[in-house]
Amino acid sequence: MVFSLAAILGVALSLAVEASAKTIRRETYPQGLQWGPCKLNTTLPVQCAKLTVPLDYTNNSDNRTLTLNVIKYPAQKEPKRGSILLNFGGPGQDGLNSMLAYAPLQAPVTGGYHDLISWDPRGTGNTLFNCWPQDPTGYFAGLGSTQASSADTATGKLWAEGEIIAETCYNQLKDIGDYVGMAFTARDMIAIVDALGEDGMLRYWGISGGTTLGSTVAAMFPDRVDKVVLDGVMNAHQYYNMFGEPEMVAATDATWEQFMRGCIAAPQNCALARNHHTFQDLESAMRRLFDTFRNNPPVYNGSLVFELSFLESHVYNALYSPSKWPQLATSLDGLLRGDLEPIVASISEGGAIPSQAQAILGIRCGDKKLRTDKLADLGADLNQYRRTSRWFWDWGWGYYVMPCAQWKFHAKERYNGDFRVKTKNPMLIVGNTYDPVTPLVSARNMSEGFEGSVLLTHNGHGHLTLSQPSNCTNTAIQRYFLEGTLPDPGTVCEPNFPLFDPAA
């Protein structure tokens, strides 16, 4: 048992100082940003710059600084309309490499008249929050990866592993652990806006975890808001105030069901429809498949046990991207026939954006207010997960719920308000009807706090509007950035292509 301050206090509210306005450091950036080539392997016309910001905005006698790496994807059209900042979520996704992947998708949606700007948020890039720089045996990488639904003993194991993760991160990163988090990153954003030397106003498009950052910066700096788009919205109240964030799985079952219904509706493009002709039939086959993986998992290549955790995370991840649904159907069809090759092949395909070590833990866990040394204190939140999703209720428990509850760092500053704010200009908030991780209900929740904001419903599937694009949604975002006009309240946009359409 590890003796800690949190242990003495039980469920304790953060001891982090609530920074009062007079102690906040303010810098000016008369030299602006000096743009030059990026040290990145790309043919995109990007430029890079560095910006020095305070390491600790809340302590005027601490003169240490942090150098932010900033990237620009220049406007393609004239006359330029200023810059739009982008953040790609996680939280913990880097800005520079992610820009290379996202700018070609996001720039056309904005209309092309704005420079797109991103930066490696503190805890990523050159300040990477890496709790185990060496992990030759993969021991640490394996912690927290069991699904709680896989065995009666799994929740206890995940809790113990969460303690190991929290302790290891603390020992490795004592010097920086309190200086990451959304509030300081929001101040870094305002520093970038100031250094850009434009009108001093924030234009921003945040996706996924970038929406919690967007909610935070808008609530902390409402007078700086020119245009802010939140796309794939997280419930920022749950992010700060609960051990877990059960609302994240509010639409996961519905998205999974849409996968099955979409398959039955397009049998020519879905391998699972060969032997299943109704939704009910396919759903029971999937339930049996999950049960088989729990009770009698297959062995691959004489050495690898395909546990339920494996199947569940594979399906969950694929639900993010409808373009991968035909491939998911092929993998699952293989499994029903005892053929593991299709799923092995699709798992070994790497992603375009490098993994961000434990940045998500550094930022998210430090930002959370609650700590405890008793698993029982998480009971209410864990039950809420169980009530929210029948198929994926245990998502994220090992990855952040368990470590965060036992986290030893506290973000030096947190946004402590209630997100009921009137911003200088109204915000545009967009949610997908079937998003497996940032449901529409969270977008509605945040929209109700930001006075004058409009909620646009993207009647599509997957994570973020980009994953099943809609000209209607893209036009709404573009008109907002170019003309400042918001869609009519209640607007619903349809995606360009139906599910399982080969043209998509």
Ligand X SMILES: *[C@@H]1O[C@H](CO)[C@@H](O)[C@H](O)[C@H]1NC(C)=O
The one among 203, 237, 314, 463 contacting ligand X by CB under 6 A: 237
Quick one: 479 exposed, middle or buried, by C-beta within 10 A (0-12, 13-18, 19+)?
A: middle
- Smallest gap from residue 303 Cβ to ligand X (A): 5
- Scanning residues 243 to 272, which ones bind ligand X (CB under 6 A)? 247
**Is 238 or 389 the residue whose CB approaches ligand X more closely?**
238
Query: Which residues, 15 to 44, sit near ligand X by CB under 6 A?
Result: 41
The least distance separating ligand X from the CB of residue 275, rounded to whole angstroms, comes to 27
Residue with smaller CB distance to ligand X, 284 or 383 = 383
Furthest C-alpha separation in the chain: 70
> Which residues fall within 8 angstroms of residue 39, CB to CB, at 6 or more apart?
48
Q: Is 5 helix (H, G, I), strand (E, B) or coil?
A: helix
CB of 223 to ligand X, least distance (A): 23
Q: Which is nearer to ligand X, 152 or 175 (CB)?
A: 175
How many binding residues for ligand X (CB under 6 A)?
Answer: 15
Which stretch, 231-239, 253-261, 285-293, 315-323, contacts ligand X (CB under 6 A)? 231-239
Query: Crossing angle of helices 325-336/308-319, nearest 10°?
Result: 160
- Contact region for ligand X (CB under 6 A) — 124-132, 230-238, 355-363, 399-407? 230-238
Are 360 and 90 spatial neighbours (Cβ–Cβ below 8 Å)?
A: yes
Residue list 436-455, contact with ligand X (CB under 6 A): 445, 448
Q: Which of 496, 498, 501, 504 touches ligand X (CB under 6 A)?
A: 496
Q: Is 471 in the site for ligand X (CB under 6 A)?
A: yes
Give the up-direction half-sphere exposure of residue 472: CA atoms within 13 A in the CB hemisphere: 16
Which among 161, 174, 98, 89 is positioned nearest to 131, based on CA atoms? Answer: 174
Enumerate residues 58-77 that contact ligand X by CB under 6 A. 59, 61-63
Which 299-318 residues touch ligand X, going by CB under 6 A? 301, 303
Residue 416 makes contact with ligand X by CB under 6 A: no
- Residues 118-157 as x/- pattern, contact with ligand X by CB under 6 A: ----------------------------------------
Contact region for ligand X (CB under 6 A) — 1-9, 55-63, 137-145, 388-396?
55-63
The counts of H helices and E strands in the chain are 17, 13
DSSP codes of every residue in 223-279: GGEEEEEEES---HHHHHHSSS-GGGGTTHHHHHHHHHHHHHH-GGG-GGGTT--SH
| Distance in Å, CB of 64 to ligand X, minimum | 7
* Distance between CA atoms of residues 41 and 446, nearest Å: 38
Q: How far apart are CA 280 and CA 294, in angstroms?
A: 21
- Residue type at position 489: P
| Contact window for ligand X (CB under 6 A) among 56-64, 197-205, 221-229, 278-286 | 56-64
Is position 238 an interface residue for ligand X (rule: CB under 6 A)? yes
From residue 113, alpha-carbon distances to 74, 99, 217, 434, 479 in Å are 9, 17, 24, 31, 12
**CB closer to ligand X, 64 vs 274:** 64
What is the C-alpha R_g of the chain? 23
Distance CA 242, CA 482 (A): 37
Residues in contact with ligand X by CB under 6 A are 41, 59, 61-63, 235, 237-238, 247, 301, 303, 445, 448, 471, 496
